[in-house]
Structure 1
Amino acid sequence: MHRICIYAHIKIYNRRGEIVVDIFKALSEESRLRILTLLVEREMCVCEIEVCLNMTQSNASRHLTVLKNCGILHYYKKAQWAYYGISDKFKEEHKNLWEYLQQKLVELPTYLADHEQCERYKTVDVCANSKKTR
């Protein structure tokens, strides 16, 4: 007997009619959660995220784009650098989810190591170093 998923067409929408499933897909990847743990504290340049999480520029950018496209992050450019932060709109529209994430992100196994790595680079201008290597 073959089973067919009859619920594949069901989508979850927020009050504005936007699909919420994309948010959960974005949050289902550990690297994206690690990025969020850093951005909870402050906006960061892609270069900083690369160094703190030991990611390549292409991987960091790919994950940041997914988080931005579903509305979790906002970004702006300053000269040749792109800065990302948690979107105020996301925090307002998904208040309960945001509160839950803030509580749970600190429980990630990589949380302490990622933040310790960032502390080591606070006094170094990683963006200037990144510019030299590109």
Structure 2
Amino acid sequence: MDLIQVMKALADETRIRILNILKDGGLCVCEIELLLDINQSNASRHLNKLTSARILEYYKVAKYVCYKINEDTVKEFPFLKEIIEEEAIKLKQCDIDYERLKKYRSSNLGCEDIKEGKVCLDINLK
């Protein structure tokens, strides 16, 4: 793994926000879009950058593509763990995103609900 590639992947607020909401486990692309209030194109671009740097890895669940933090890369670059677990949440937007994640998880909504538009308005508030 290339340190420069990892550092470049971290040099964007949206990518830090993605890592922040993935620190407790994987999420589907549609969930990432909802939680960060970003469109599919924007989400894909950032997810590809993080995946290319091997900071994230993806897996499929039925017809959905999910992303999670690559623990091997975190072991290789221990500063990633500190950034993800301690520093990101200090950013106001990351704190807002994480609160939205907690509301989303407690709502028992899933990818099908998002695709069908069955999303509580509370989740969409910033």
Q: Place the TM-score, normalised by the shorter chain, in its bin.
A: 0.7 to 0.9
Q: CA-atom RMSD, angstroms?
A: 1.6
Identity level (%): 35
Higher relative contact order (CA 8 A, sep 6+): 2
Equivalent residue in structure 1 for 2:50, among 42, 47, 67: 67
Match of 1:111 in 2: 94
1:23-78 Cα deviation digits (max 9, x unpaired)? 11110000000000011111111111111110111211111111011010111012
Question: Residues of 1 paired with 2:46 and 2:101: CA distance?
Answer: 18
Match of 2:112 in 1: 128
TM-score (norm 2): 0.82
Equivalent residue in structure 1 for 2:80, among 76, 98, 101: 98
Match of 1:13 in 2: none
Is the CA contact 2:58–2:68 (under 8 Å) kept in the aligned structure 1? Answer: yes
Question: Residues of 2 paired with 1:57 and 1:78: CA distance?
Answer: 18
Structure 1: where are the runs of 5+ without partners?
Answer: 1-17
Report the Cα offset of residue 129 of structure 1.
3.3
Q: Which amino acid aligns with 1:81?
A: Y
Structure 2: where are the runs of 5+ without partners?
Answer: 118-126
Report the Cα offset of residue 106 of structure 1.
1.4
Find the structure with the greater CA-based Rg: 1
Question: Residues of 2 paired with 1:90 and 1:19: CA distance?
Answer: 10
| Aligned counterparts, 1:1-134, within 5 A | 18-95=1-78, 97-101=79-83, 102-122=85-105, 123-132=107-116
Question: Residues of 2 paired with 1:21 and 1:110: CA distance?
Answer: 25
Question: Residues of 1 paired with 2:81 and 2:32: CA distance?
Answer: 23
Larger proportion of helix: 2
Match of 1:7 in 2: none
Q: Which amino acid aligns with 1:89?
A: D
TM-score (norm 1): 0.77
- Count, aligned residues: 115
Report the Cα offset of residue 124 of structure 1.
4.7
